[in-house]
Amino acid sequence: MNGPSRRTVLGTTGVLGLGSSLGRAVPAHAAESPGGGPVFDTAPARSALNRLLPGHAEQFRLSLVQKSGTVDRFRVTGTTGRVLVQATTPATLLTGVHWYLRYVCGAHLAWNGSRPALPRR
């Protein structure tokens, strides 16, 4: 097989379609901050992290930062066993965690299967 599998193409298309349709929506529970942007809670991202990485979730600190403009962003810093992920929304926090796991740890988490071969610390 030379190209991507049908499953990969359909999965990617579904994720992109869902992301583009939900990307501009502001959640009903989001309140307006004094700066004009919505205020979010890190609890949903923390809950997902505890569910996906029960043995490693405590190594991540999640922090929301003020949004500047219309672009979401994340920043990953820290040391081994103490990773700080800062982002503009809970979804972007999880994107930052995923980026760290994929490109720093070499782990793979996906809807259709995961290979989280993570070291203990």
In the predicted model, is pLDDT for residue 75 greater than 90? yes
For residue 59, give every residue at least 6 positions away whose Cβ sits within 8 Å of its Cβ, in sequence order, or none. Answer: 81, 82, 83, 121
| Enclosing H/E stretch for 22 | helix 6-22
The CATH superfamily label for domain 39-121 reads Chitobiase/beta-hexosaminidase domain 2-like (3.30.379.10)
- Residues 40-74 as b/e (b if ≥16 CB within 10 A, e otherwise) read bebebbbebbeebbeebbeebebebeebeeeeeeb
Q: Is the pLDDT of residue 113 over 80?
A: no
Q: What is the pTM of this model?
A: 0.61
| pLDDT classification of 106: cutoffs 50, 70, 90 | confident
Gap between the Cα atoms of 38 and 83, Å rounded: 25
In the predicted model, is pLDDT for residue 32 greater than 50?
A: no
Domain ranges of the chain: 39-121
Instruction: List, for residues 48-67, the tens digit of each pLDDT value.
Output: 999 888 888 999 999 999 88
Q: Residue type at 46?
A: R
Q: Look-up: residue for tokens 């994107």?
A: 95
Report the distance separating Cα 46 and Cα 28, nearest Å. Answer: 19
